[in-house]
Chains A and B, each alone.
Chain A
């Protein structure tokens, strides 16, 4: 299963792979010069206690791009996202097959420590989940866990600035994070993720609990962050995916012979193409709002 793919070979393969619409294989269109892929997801299938949640997903995540995962509820977006930083290891009964490479290293390789993976690939959750501690301690938690003791103040300030939260909280760094608004809490969670200097930040519906203004701020923030980080975002908000992302992966729920439901990747392409001229009818129906 360990098909090592370099950026260049991938492109050639993709061009040869432009296939009829009804096929489920994702379709890559390399009209722009492709960026280097940082993470490659190759034929990944996830099962929970034996039943398939998502099957045979293949796509690439390019450096300093925002990749959006969209699709109806239950099609396995969160599941797939959690595979990328091995958070699925924490769910009893979850089983991942296929290959996920990060800079060519198999993240599920025998010697790989999931804890190290999560330091490089951070995560922001759907519901803001600040620790019941001070704002400062929230941001400093990651570095402290890494054993960093010096320059913590600097790291905290830098992370809060990058999460465009510094000006709002610089005078109350020692008050509880639980006293912040939902939008501030979510930006704090982003600051917290940044503080460990990850390469990739995974965001699972980061704005679904927020008002439009907070959502707008986080979208702006993502634009800024992508100069330094690679971002993968799950969202139910079509406009959001269209606004912020460079690439979009559209998933759907299939039903197999035994009436079991499982998710599949339908189409993966430049966001522009997905939203204006998708190759698959199901994608078109979804992005134009004809179905769920």
Chain B
């Protein structure tokens, strides 16, 4: 090694070009982040300002009406809750079960397991409207023939988000280190005991986060539900899974397309309600992730 003088050493050690690029790159990153945030904030502010006059308790307690002064979104809010409840009840057990099978039980050498994996990715990318058509053909009519009910809507949305639930649950299960499984097996645990007592508890935060995000996607969907016959003018809350229903996105869609300005205000107010529900769900997901974050 050749020795260098103090000033040469200083030259080597002090950065100049590096600084320039580093700052430039940082600015570019902040700029791209900025675009996203500004767009979102503008959107939220706009609906807040526009919907403000109707952001009152009547929006939550009244039913739809031809008179914009007294119209409210109660049946849509309750419909959303019912439909998402059905979606969750269907998609959570099925999705987690499928993920466990694929990660812990399936022999990845077999072609059918690889085929399923490949198709999950494809299914997650299928447009929502296609699920609407599927739901109409096989759930509302045809095979299941459930009619235009909460149950049919919940199942359709369940199919829509199932691939997302499976994929995110698999990621969470995969993140559990193998040493934990080995430790359990070495103590004489069966495969099911290992999954049930070690792998699942360790991956629940990840699974919950993915599932909540998937459900919040389902809440925002209008297209497939319009297709399977979500009604726009319903003046009663669902009483069972066999009731007819409407949901917030459909109600919003309907109000936006009315000619009167008052309905536009109503729509903006309903969008705020929908956003609040979505943000609350995402906040719950983030909370769960941070609370249970594990360092293995």
Contact = CB atoms under 8 A, between A and B. Distances in A.
Q: Do A and B bind each other?
A: yes
Interface of A: 85, 87, 90, 92, 115-116, 118-119, 122-123, 125, 127, 129-133, 141-142, 144-146, 178, 189, 192-193, 196
A66 to B, nearest CB: 19
20 contacts: A87-B185, A87-B186, A90-B182, A118-B186, A127-B179, A129-B180, A129-B182, A130-B183, A131-B180, A132-B294, A141-B184, A141-B189, A144-B197, A145-B187, A145-B188, A145-B193, A178-B294, A192-B187, A193-B187, A196-B187
B23 interface: no
A129 B180 CA distance: 6
A195 to B, nearest CB: 8
A141 B197 contact: yes
A145 B109 contact: no
Instruction: Label chain B's interface by main secondary structure.
Output: helix
Interface string B277-296: 00000000000000000111
Contacts of B201: 133
A85 B186 CA distance: 8
B295 to A, nearest CB: 6
Contacts of A145: 184, 187-190, 193, 197
Interface in B255-296: 294-296
Interface residues of B, number: 22
Contacts of A118: 185-188
B235 interface: no
A92 B109 contact: yes
A192 B177 CA distance: 18
A90 B185 contact: yes
Contacts of B62: none
B188 A146 contact: yes
Contact of B182 (A87, A92, A130): A87
B254 interface: no
B187 A129 contact: no
B140 interface: no
6 closest A-B pairs by CB: A119-B188, A129-B179, A123-B186, A142-B187, A118-B188, A129-B183
Interface in B130-188: 177, 179-180, 182-188
Interface of B: 107, 109, 177, 179-180, 182-190, 193, 197-198, 201-202, 294-296
A207 to B, nearest CB: 17
Contacts of B193: 145
Contacts of A141: 184, 187, 189, 197-198
A131 B194 CA distance: 11
Contact of B188 (A92, A125, A127, A196): A196
Kindly name the residue among B185, B197, B202 whose own CB sees the greatest number of chain A CB atoms within 10 A.
B185
A131 B190 contact: no
A115 B189 contact: yes
B294 A142 contact: no
Given A133-B201, A193-B187, A196-B188, 17 more contacts: A87-B182, A87-B186, A90-B185, A119-B187, A123-B186, A125-B179, A129-B179, A131-B183, A131-B198, A132-B294, A141-B197, A142-B189, A144-B197, A145-B184, A145-B189, A146-B188, A178-B295
B151 to A, nearest CB: 39
Contact of A132 (B182, B185, B188, B296): B296
Contacts of B189: 115, 141-142, 145
A271 to B, nearest CB: 26
Nearest to A116: B188
A90 B189 CA distance: 13
Given A132-B202, A178-B296, A115 B186 contact: no
Kindly name the residue among B183, B189, B193, B198 whose own CB sees the greatest number of chain A CB atoms within 10 A.
B183
A205 to B, nearest CB: 14
Contacts of A196: 187-188
Contacts of B186: 85, 87, 118, 122-123, 125, 193
A92 to B, nearest CB: 7
